Amino acid sequence: MFISLIQKRRSIRKFETKEVEAEKIDRLIEAALRAPSSMGSKPWEFIIVSDREVLAKLSMAKQHGASFLKNAPLAIVVCADPDKSQVWIEDASIASIFIHLAAESMGLGSCWIQIRKRMHDNTTTSEAYVSQLLNIPEGKRVESIIAVGYPDEGKPPHKKESLQYEKVHLGSFGKPY
């Protein structure tokens, strides 16, 4: 059931060394390619990275929040073409989350790594760093990297009591649900 998958879902940043099988990678990509996009524009491009040296370099895309990628067996870099969709950020984000949830459904762990709007160092954006490393053509934008692998950490589901139901309004803003 999709709802139980959502209830279990956590971001996983520690992975076993085991590789992700080709069939599972194919399922992740299929999930991404089945994501909805504005006006069916499908502005995305996906780069599958499993080379450990490249993963180590990608883990340096920004100063915080990407280092765990050097110990991941797989990354899927989610890019998009702004010329193909004015709302490419939404399109790329939805595809990213489809990958994250598809991973969960196959017993894999994954975590979104934000690239757009992040800096590699004082002068270079994370996007420029990733684009240069992976030969991404000029004009294509990089939204995220989804790190994927077999989980080597267990995280409990978020308890229902911890959900912020106070942010849900009934009928109009401020009326409690």
Ligand X SMILES: Cc1cc2nc3c(=O)[nH]c(=O)nc-3n(C[C@H](O)[C@H](O)[C@H](O)COP(=O)(O)O)c2cc1C
Angle at 109 between CA 150 and CA 47, to 5 degrees: 95
Among residues 26 and 63, whose Cβ is nearest to ligand X?
63
CB of 22 to ligand X, least distance (A): 26
Tell me the CA distances in angstroms from 134 to 49, 53, 131, one per residue in order. 9, 12, 5
Rule CB under 6 A: say whether 113 interacts with ligand X: yes
Tell me which stretch binds ligand X (CB under 6 A): 7-15, 19-27, 30-38, 167-175. Answer: 7-15
Q: Which of these ranges, 9-17, 46-54, 127-135, 159-167, lies near ligand X under the rule CB under 6 A?
A: 9-17
114 counts as binding ligand X under rule CB under 6 A: yes
10 binding ligand X? (CB under 6 A): yes
The token duo for 151 is 């989980």
CB atoms within 10 A of CB 15: 24
Min. distance of Cβ 139 from ligand X in angstroms?
Answer: 22
Shortest CB 155 distance to ligand X, Å? 6
Residue 67 contacts ligand X per CB under 6 A:
no
Paired tokens of 98: 């489809």
**CA–CA dist 116, 55 (Å, integer):** 18
Instruction: List beta partners, residue 149.
Output: 109
User: Whole-angstrom Cα distance, residue 91 to residue 106?
Assistant: 23
Q: Which residues bind ligand X (CB under 6 A)?
A: 10-11, 13, 65, 111-114
